Amino acid sequence: MIPIAYGPRIDRPHSAMIFCSPRELVLATEVAMERWRPSVIVTKQEQFLLKRLEKKRRLFGFLRRHRHEIFDEEFQAELEAMYRGTGAGKDLVPPALMAMALLLQGYLGLSDWDAVETAVMDLRWRMVLGCLGDTEPPFSQGALQGFRERLIAHDMDRRLLERTVELAKRTKEFDWKKLPKTLRVAIDSAPLEGAGQVEDTINLLAHAARKVVECAAISCTGRRIGCAGTREPRCSWSRA
């Protein structure tokens, strides 16, 4: 226990001052990272979903039945080693849960935004992630992106895929060749879809072009002049 003492000439309540060695301070601030511990027992609702996954999208059933083997205590410790050991920073989603989400995302080829929404709306995702019945998303878009970057930086994405492929080969419950080949490509295509987004892009390019013309005019004449043709570009958004 860390001793707490008050300094001299303190005659009224003040915040406590903690006196301890640097090593004791580090130990005091270390926080055990929460591990993902989904249930092994299959519920009645999960049995219903697994039955419907016997012919199509079988990876969901495979991951649900073997998630505790893929993310055993040893591998979860490896994932935790990617993080610093202090309590600084935001509360973390268990790394194993995030890694499972990346497997599902890579399998379906979803963007980060779609992965978050699917984790809320798709019962198959919620079953595999162990959050059936929850009312909140299991992770955010920013958390998913940040975790992927951390996973790749430590080369743990390959380790995750290797473990999953090895288990699929051993159990023969899922064709390992249908597993995602990489977790390194996950492009958020949402900003590229829809007429509104295309129009915004072209308008931004037009604004940038006008800035270039204005700067060139100032450089040549020494005075600021307007840019002709400031009307919005005419486009057939239905064909864009």
State residue 81's pLDDT score: 93
Instruction: Judge if 114 and 172 occupy the same domain.
Output: yes
State residue 33's pLDDT score: 79
Instruction: Judge if 181 and 198 occupy the same domain.
Output: no
State residue 208's pLDDT score: 62
Task: Count up the domains in the chain and report the number.
Answer: 2
Taking the chain (240 residues) in runs of 10, the rounded mean pLDDT of each run is 48 48 43 84 96 91 95 95 69 90 93 95 96 93 94 93 91 82 50 41 60 64 54 49
Instruction: Judge if 109 and 214 occupy the same domain.
Output: no
Instruction: Judge if 185 and 208 occupy the same domain.
Output: no
The answer to whether position 90 is within a domain reads: yes
The answer to whether position 165 is within a domain reads: yes
Instruction: Judge if 119 and 86 occupy the same domain.
Output: yes
Domain that holds residue 107: 44-190
Instruction: Judge if 198 and 137 occupy the same domain.
Output: no
State residue 126's pLDDT score: 97
Instruction: Judge if 160 and 205 occupy the same domain.
Output: no
Instruction: Judge if 141 and 219 occupy the same domain.
Output: no
Instruction: Judge if 198 and 122 occupy the same domain.
Output: no
The answer to whether position 14 is within a domain reads: no
State residue 240's pLDDT score: 47
Instruction: Judge if 229 and 133 occupy the same domain.
Output: no
State residue 230's pLDDT score: 47
The answer to whether position 172 is within a domain reads: yes
CB 199 within 8 Å of CB 181: no
Instruction: Judge if 169 and 218 occupy the same domain.
Output: no
The answer to whether position 234 is within a domain reads: yes
The answer to whether position 1 is within a domain reads: no
The answer to whether position 95 is within a domain reads: yes
The answer to whether position 19 is within a domain reads: no
State residue 104's pLDDT score: 95
State residue 144's pLDDT score: 95
Instruction: Judge if 229 and 150 occupy the same domain.
Output: no
The structure's pTM equals: 0.64
Task: Please provide the DSSP assignment of the chain as one string.
Answer: ---EE--TT--S----EE---HHHHHHHHB-PPPPP---SSPPHHHHHHHHHTSSSSHHHHHHHHHHHHHT-HHHHHHHHTTS-SBS-SSPPPPHHHHHHHHHHHHHHT--HHHHHHHHHH-HHHHHHTT-TT-SS-SS-HHHHHHHHHHHHHTTHHHHHHHHHHHHHHHH-SS-GGGS-S-SS-----GGGSSHHHHHHHHHHHHHHHHHHHHHHHHHHHSS----S--SPPP--GGG-
